[in-house]
Every structure is written in C-alpha cells, then in structure tokens.
Amino acid sequence: MLVMGIDPGLSRCGYGVVRQKGRVTEAVAAGVIRTDKDDATPQRLYELQIELADLMDSCQPNAVAIEQVLFQVNVRTAMGVGQASGVAMAAAAGAGAEVFEYSPTQIKKAVAGWGNADKDQMGRMVQTLLGLNHPLKPVDAADAVAVALCHLAHRPAASRIQAAT
C-alpha cells in the first residue's frame, strides 16, 4: 500500500509518499515543489500540474491524500491554495489513484492524537512513526507525510488486514 500525501500550495506544495507493509511504515519519497512568485499564476499552476503528474507516474501511489483547504486564515492565500489543490486533485485522478481529503484537525488527531497539535509536535510524531533519527525537513514535506499517515490511520481495519498479508 503506497500513499502519497499532499500539502497543497502555490509557492510550496509538499508531497510525501509512504509505504505500509504489515506493521512497517516507511517514507519512500518526500519533498517540496516550489514555483516562482514572480511568474504568473497560470504558469505556476501548470508547472505544479506537470511536476505532480511526473511524481505520480514514477511513484504509482494506490491512494493520494490531500489536506483540505479552509478559508479561515486569509482569503487571498486560500484562493491560490484552492487552485493548487484543484490541480493536485485532477493530477491524482488522472494518475488513476483513489483520492481522499482530510481536514487539518483530522490530520493532527490521527498523527499526534489531538486536533490542536502544533508544528513541532507534528514533526516529532512524523519522525517517530517513520522511525527516523532526525525530523523530516523541510516542514512542508513533513506536513505532506502527515497527510499520508492520516490516510493510513483512517483506512478501514479490513483493508489494513488485507494489506498486511
């Protein structure tokens, strides 16, 4: 079972690919796709589309989990993040993966145990769950891995048992 988590964004879009086999969960790939703030938004969205499609083509994830975009923080930023999440969703569907969305609170609850966990706590839990010696950097990549781990935690028990055999 290979899950790609995505923390969508126009300037920085985090991705993290996690493999679960039996009780072992490991990070296969993690990083950040960056686009240039000086470029026009359509060009940046197109670059994001191409890079995500390439990543999905090379990793072939069974599922793609995307962090849901909320509008509480900043409407101006949320628009870019929403557009980036649209491009990411289309890329995932185009790659034939099942696509899931999780809210920030769901992700924090699943990974750190409570919905108000801060960045540091989330980073440490990602490190622990993957058995890493150091926290995963940059933070957008760690956030994306957390989305993938959230999906694994939300999968029905039946499919986890199936994946373990």
Q: Among residues 39 and 120, whose Cβ is nearest to a second copy?
A: 39
Per CB under 8 A, residues contacting a second copy are 40-43, 45-46, 48-50, 69, 71, 75, 78-79, 82-87, 89-94, 99
Active-site hit among 26, 51, 98, 140 = 140
> Is residue 67 annotated as a catalytic residue, yes or no?
yes
- Torsion sign over Cα 47, 107, 146, 62: negative
In the bound state with a second copy, the residue whose beta carbon lies nearer, of 34 and 46, is 46
Q: Residue 12 Cβ, how far from a second copy at the closest point, in Å?
A: 16
Residue 7 a catalytic site member: yes
CB of 40 to a second copy, least distance (A): 7
164 touches 22 (CB < 8 A): yes
In the bound state with a second copy, the residue whose beta carbon lies nearer, of 71 and 114, is 71
> Shortest Cβ distance from residue 70 to a second copy (Å)?
9
Strand ranges, E, within the chain: 2-7, 12-21, 24-34, 63-67, 98-102
Other CB atoms within 10 A of residue 132 CB: 14
Nearer to a second copy, 56 or 117 (CB): 56
148 neighbors 4 (Cβ within 8 angstroms): yes
Asked if residue 91 lies in contact with residue 53, where contact means CB atoms within 8 angstroms, the answer is yes
Confirm whether 47 is a catalytic residue: no
User: How do strand 2-7 and strand 12-21 relate by DSSP bridges?
Assistant: antiparallel
* Residues marked as catalytic: 7, 67, 140
